[in-house]
Amino acid sequence: MRHLYLHVPFCTGRCAYCAFVSGPPGDPEAYVAGLLREAAARGVGAAGPLETLYCGGGTPALLGEAGFRRLAASGLFTLAPGAEWTVELHPAATTRALARTLAGLGVTRLSLGVQSFDDAALARCNRRHTARQALEAIETARAAVPDTGIDLIAGLPGVSPAAWTRTLRRAAGLGLPHVSVYALTVEPGSAWGRAGLPAPDPDALCDAIAEAAETLAGAGLRRYETSNYALPGRACRHNLNTWRGGDYLGLGRGAASRLGRLRRAGDGSEETLSEEADALERALTALRTAEGFDPEAAAARFPVLAPRLGRWRRLLAAFRAEGLLDARNAPTTRGHEVADALARALL
């Protein structure tokens, strides 16, 4: 297994939009021991060096410096030369000591969940940090690990267009190598979902995402996937593997995996896909990327898809004529707004 995801479900409080598997901080030592047992049982150490390792959450920082040292010292998570190791950080849990420890252990990327630079919006989200704390955390993180990026959320309730513009301009002015901009979805299991918060207005949300693309492009950040922007050569390789249809193993409570035709969801349930369903899932994520979708290459990689080629060519030509795809069958700005619908049409 060359691509590994470690999930840390610890959180000091649940954000209003969150429906992920998470809970109050438990015993970090016990949780790390469980991760190591699971890794050994899955044969991680015997599978060879990792190309990418991604630690997400929750709040992975709550493992503490000792927890990360134990993971690194286990020998189960050996990194190949030039491998990518990403750790997600909450701004309120980002300390100079932790950032330096992670850098010393070989972490190559940090990703901070900033979500907004508007204090009122952060308070409504129950983010437990302010805009100033986020800026301080960004500087602390990239002083140790220069490849530090942030996440933002478009469509947060109560955020005016002017406030969103200020957040984007501040993000663009930081000189970061990577920014993710996610469209708010009101999940049924989140606090907002239980409270009946309506979904963001679709037109306003599309406008906010389009503004993000334009503003970040002005800072040299290329939109390489529907929700992700990076300087040249600074895309997240772990996530690129997923969008290119590669396998990955997830360890920890709430982690998903894709191994061959086997899918393991975050709740622990498993499903074995048909050959065709597996091939479609792996091939069509390319419609979200700047690399674009090559139907002939997809059919060559997955022969079971070859009978679809004629219909795909006709649909893709229609999408290009409508301005939804470019010449490489990569989404245009309008195409990104309906990327999921394009994939459904090709199904």
What's the pLDDT tens digit per position in 152-170? 999 999 999 999 999 999 9
The model's pTM? 0.96
Helix axes 64-73 and 96-105, enclosed angle (nearest 10): 0
All structural domains of the chain with their residue ranges: 3-242, 278-346
pLDDT along the chain (347 residues), means of 10: 92 90 86 96 91 96 97 95 97 97 98 98 96 98 98 97 98 98 95 95 97 98 98 98 97 95 91 98 97 98 98 98 98 96 95
Architecture of domain 3-242: Alpha-Beta Barrel (3.20)
What's the pLDDT tens digit per position in 98-155? 999 999 999 999 999 999 999 999 999 999 999 999 999 999 999 999 999 999 999 9
Residue with tokens 């997923």: 242
From the list 140, 142, 149, the residue with the least C-alpha distance to 112 is 149
Q: Which residues contact 254 (CB under 8 A, 6 or more apart)?
A: 7, 9, 20, 21, 22, 58, 266, 267
Q: What pLDDT is stored for residue 1 in this prediction?
A: 66
Q: What pLDDT is stored for residue 144 in this prediction?
A: 98
Residues 183/200, Cβ–Cβ less than 8 Å? yes
For residue 33 the two structure tokens come to: 């021991």
Q: What pLDDT is stored for residue 46 in this prediction?
A: 86
Q: What pLDDT is stored for residue 24 in this prediction?
A: 83
Q: Which residues contact 44 (CB under 8 A, 6 or more apart)?
A: 1, 4, 76, 77, 249, 251
